[in-house]
């Protein structure tokens, strides 16, 4: 399988209105549109008219069809085209499968039977969705998200304290399809009011337990706290799914869907307020990641020749699976 | 072997275990008979993707809240772990592998027979659940179909069906979620909707439907509750007729109360139906090699069929002269209260109100135990 044989998020669903939207994914330029015939049908086509090469994203939607702004040729979501001036012509645009789920628009190539990324958020409560663009290749971007060694330097709230990094455990397990990393260590000191808001105590242990999958490339994080003396878990936990979408060879979009365990209606709405802050934290921490990634001197995904730490084991495991599962090589 | 006991509870699912825990705390001796080798066997065998449709805070069994870290809707695996912990904490030791083959009233008590044993008991609590026997309809030409036809009780996940065209028969909660699971695994599912059905999102604008039901609908006259919910559903979901879902004449709340039918609680299937990812088709008329024929005269090719056609209680299969206590669909007419004319007999866990089956079981189990404790005194 090749990259576009897997489902990729390309847009927030609420960004796609009546107008067609251009998107770039895996170095392909596509146009996504919503039918205006009252149906919930979506279409995704190569963003170029097969007639004379116009950008279809400059066109308009009429009923269930996308109309080219140049000569008025129109295309159905399956690519079937009509030319008003040449009724006998049977033009065909390059069509992709498209679906709206979890508040995102997803696309993949037609005719391949890829599974939709598994994301069990039943019983979790949606906090928010974010998108950031890293000026780095897919592998190098993913690297940043599958080790915690960078958290004391890069992050304000997420992760572990610098002076106690040596205590942080890092257990890596893998299957043919996934790489799981379990980190456990002391929670970094936080501003005082956050403890009660997040329902945690000073001295709590923080667990960052994630699994990375490769069809498409995404990581689902379970983050929670417990009392190290009793092992008792704190009431809240976060589940964050991050999808890594190559835009070009050197750019990667990061779509994050964040969920909380604690229901917003609990604690008289205080949780709803905690959601707002959590969403802001996720945005802030992701911005720090992508800013840093943009400053890398060497963005080559090659790991050979580098000196690696005890936290870097997942990087090599992920490389192999990106090659075999995501890119379908070897 | 012949045994005499005070109380026999048949079934070690949520209902049977709850009654056991309530009897234990009242100091009443009892035995639980379970046909499988484990507690909660239905929950162990359900498809993997299943979650409770009800909120864990209102779905706890008597005496044991869900542990911290449990999501609002616990997963099937979490439910199994919870039932294991429940049996362990209340020291419930069901007799496993005891399949009740026959039960009858005798001398003011009950006689139950399993393969090896005969039990004589003063009181009997039937907690075998509404999932005891799969409903497996048959159609003409089925044998010639060629593809596999399996009941939803044998469906685990969509992995084996990637790229396959699979027909899911029955648009209940299992059918709709299995169609969704198949789609997520890269299969091409179609959902056969056999009759009119109400569709209710699991969460109404972020608030679980169970909570709205508990706090609002259970206190209003059903007609008023129907009107409010239909008004809300129209605005939230729109008209579903073009997608193949027709609405029953009876409102969703009345249907639960009068017909004991719960609506389809949507966990994401509808979004895919509306986008044309999952096709909705009519009721099946017949099969031919590789094809299914529908009552509207259409024919479509399929590689496999999943029958999400539900279950029956199967009580009358083993309980002699039980018909008088059962309704036309085989569900007991009496819940958590003594059965008229059959002192010592109780049924528990056979209804599924909007407020949630587990919530109901928790209430009923206490009541059953109170009746049994009262009789003893």
Q: Do A42 and B275 count as a contact with CB atoms less than 8 A apart?
A: yes
The H or E element spanning position A126 is strand A125-134
pLDDT of residue B215: 67
What DSSP state is assigned to residue A156? Answer: S
- What residues in B contact A265, CB-CB < 8 Å? 207, 211
What are B328-373's pLDDT values in tens digits? 888 998 887 889 888 999 999 998 777 788 999 999 999 999 999 9
Q: Which parts of chain A fold into alpha helices (H)? A: 138-145, 151-154, 192-198, 270-294, 313-321
| Share above pLDDT 70 across residues of chain B, in percent, rounded to a whole number | 97
How close A320 comes to chain B (CA, Å)? 23
Q: Do B162 and A113 count as a contact with CB atoms less than 8 A apart?
A: yes
* ipTM for this prediction: 0.94
Q: Do B206 and A125 count as a contact with CB atoms less than 8 A apart?
A: yes
pLDDT of residue A108: 96
The CATH superfamily assigned to B2-132+313-376 is FAD/NAD(P)-binding domain (3.50.50.60)
CA angle B130, B135, B48 (to 5 degrees): 70
Q: Regarding beta strands B345-347 and B188-192, do their DSSP bridges make them parallel or antiparallel, or are they unpaired?
A: unpaired
Q: Report residue A51 as tokens.
A: 């007639």
In angstroms, how far is CA A274 from the centroid of its own chain? Answer: 23
Average pLDDT value over all residues in chain A:
94
Tokens 């037609």 belong to residue = A110
Decide: B318 and B101 in contact? Cβ < 8 Å. yes
Distance CA A309, CA B18 (A): 52
Say yes or no: domain A125-326 is CATH 3.90.380.10: yes
pLDDT of residue B377: 44
What are A282-330's pLDDT values in tens digits? 999 999 999 999 999 999 999 999 999 999 999 999 999 999 999 999 7
pLDDT confidence tier of residue A264, bands split at 50, 70 and 90: confident
Average pLDDT value over all residues in chain B:
91
Distance CA B92, CA B94 (A): 6
Classify domain A3-109 at the CATH topology level.
Answer: Rieske Iron-sulfur Protein (2.102.10)
Closest to A91 measured CA to CA, from A51, A52, A120, A46: A51
Decide: B321 and B341 in contact? Cβ < 8 Å. no
Give the dihedral sign, CA A312/A313/A318/A323. positive
**What are the domain boundaries of chain A?**
3-109, 125-326
Tokens 């029953």 belong to residue = B248
Closest to B191 measured CA to CA, from B85, B76, B326, B282: B282
Q: Which residues of B touch A (CB under 8 A)?
A: 51-52, 56, 67-75, 158, 162-163, 183-187, 206-207, 211, 267-268, 271-272, 274-277
Classify domain B136-307 at the CATH topology level.
Answer: FAD/NAD(P)-binding domain (3.50.50)
Q: Do B72 and A123 count as a contact with CB atoms less than 8 A apart?
A: yes
**Residue range(s) of every CATH 3.50.50.60 domain in chain B:** 2-132+313-376, 136-307
Top-confidence residue, B252 or B285: B285
**Cα distances (Å, whole numbers) of residue A106 to A19, A32, A261, B307:** 17, 10, 25, 30
């Amino acid at each position: 399988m090749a990259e576009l044989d897997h489902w990729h998020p390309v847009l927030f669903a609420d960004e796609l209105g009546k107008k067609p939207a251009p998107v770039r994914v895996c170095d392909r330029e596509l146009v996504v549109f919503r039918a205006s015939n009252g149906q919930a049908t979506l279409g995704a086509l190569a963003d170029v008219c097969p007639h004379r090469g116009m950008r279809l994203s400059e066109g308009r939607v009429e009923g269930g069809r996308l109309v080219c702004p140049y000569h008025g040729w129109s295309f159905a979501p399956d690519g079937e085209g009509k030319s008003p001036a040449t009724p006998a012509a049977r033009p065909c645009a390059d069509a992709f499968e498209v679906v709206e789920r979890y508040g995102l628009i997803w696309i993949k190539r037609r005719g391949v039977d890829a599974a939709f990324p598994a994301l069990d958020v039943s019983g979790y409560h949606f906090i928010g969705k974010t998108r950031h663009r890293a000026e780095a290749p897919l592998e190098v971007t993913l690297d940043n998200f599958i080790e915690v060694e960078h958290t004391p330097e890069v992050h304000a709230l997420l992760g572990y304290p610098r002076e106690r990094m040596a205590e942080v455990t890092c257990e890596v397990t893998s299957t043919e399809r996934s790489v799981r990393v379990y980190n456990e260590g002391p929670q970094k000191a936080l501003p005082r009011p956050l403890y009660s808001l997040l329902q945690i105590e000073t001295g709590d242990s923080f667990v960052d337990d994630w699994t990375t999958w490769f069809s498409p490339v995404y990581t689902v994080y379970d983050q929670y706290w417990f009392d190290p003396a009793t092992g008792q878990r704190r009431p809240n936990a976060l589940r964050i799914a991050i999808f890594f979408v190559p835009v070009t060879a050197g750019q990667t979009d990061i779509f994050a869907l964040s969920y909380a365990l604690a229901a917003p209606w609990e604690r008289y709405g205080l949780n709803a307020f905690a959601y707002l802050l959590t969403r802001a934290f996720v945005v802030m921490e992701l911005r720090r990641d992508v800013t840093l990634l943009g400053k890398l001197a060497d963005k080559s995904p090659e790991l050979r020749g580098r000196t690696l730490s005890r936290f870097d084991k997942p990087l090599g495991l992920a490389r192999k699976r990106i090659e075999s599962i995501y890119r379908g090589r070897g | 072997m012949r045994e005499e006991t005070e109380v026999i509870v048949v079934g070690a699912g949520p209902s049977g275990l709850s009654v056991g825990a309530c009897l234990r705390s009242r100091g009443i001796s009892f035995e639980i008979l379970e046909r499988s080798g484990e507690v909660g066997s239905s929950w162990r065998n359900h498809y993997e993707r299943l979650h409770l449709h009800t909120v864990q805070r209102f779905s706890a069994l008597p005496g044991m809240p869900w542990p911290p870290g449990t999501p609002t809707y616990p997963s099937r695996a979490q439910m199994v772990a919870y039932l294991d912990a429940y049996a362990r904490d209340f020291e419930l030791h069901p007799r496993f592998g005891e399949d009740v083959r026959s039960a009858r009233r005798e001398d003011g008590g009950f006689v139950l027979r399993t393969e090896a044993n005969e039990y004589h008991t003063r009181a009997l609590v039937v907690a075998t659940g509404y999932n005891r026997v799969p409903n497996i309809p048959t159609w003409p030409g089925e044998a010639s179909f060629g593809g596999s036809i399996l009941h939803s009780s044998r469906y685990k996940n969509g992995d084996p069906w990637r790229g396959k065209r699979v027909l899911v028969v029955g648009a209940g909660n299992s059918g709709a979620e299995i169609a969704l699971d198949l789609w997520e695994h890269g299969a091409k599912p179609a959902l056969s909707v056999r009759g009119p059905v109400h569709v209710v999102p699991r969460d109404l604008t972020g608030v679980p439907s169970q909570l709205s039901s508990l706090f609002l609908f259970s206190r209003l006259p059903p007609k008023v509750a129907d009107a409010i919910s239909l008004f809300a559903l129209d605005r939230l979901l729109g008209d579903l007729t073009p997608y193949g879902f027709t609405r029953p004449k009876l409102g969703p709340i009345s249907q639960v109360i009068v017909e004991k039918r719960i609506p389809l609680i949507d966990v994401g299937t509808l979004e895919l139906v509306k986008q044309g990812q999952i096709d909705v088709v009519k009721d099946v008329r017949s099969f031919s090699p590789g094809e299914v024929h529908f009552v509207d005269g259409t024919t479509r090719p399929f590689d496999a069929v999943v029958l999400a056609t539900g279950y029956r209680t199967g009580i009358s299969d083993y309980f002699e002269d039980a018909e008088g206590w059962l309704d036309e669909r085989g569900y007991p007419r009496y819940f958590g209260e003594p059965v008229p004319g059959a002192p010592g007999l109780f049924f528990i866990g056979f209804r599924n109100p909007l407020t949630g089956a587990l919530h109901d079981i928790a209430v009923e189990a206490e009541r059953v135990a109170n009746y049994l404790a009262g009789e003893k005194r």
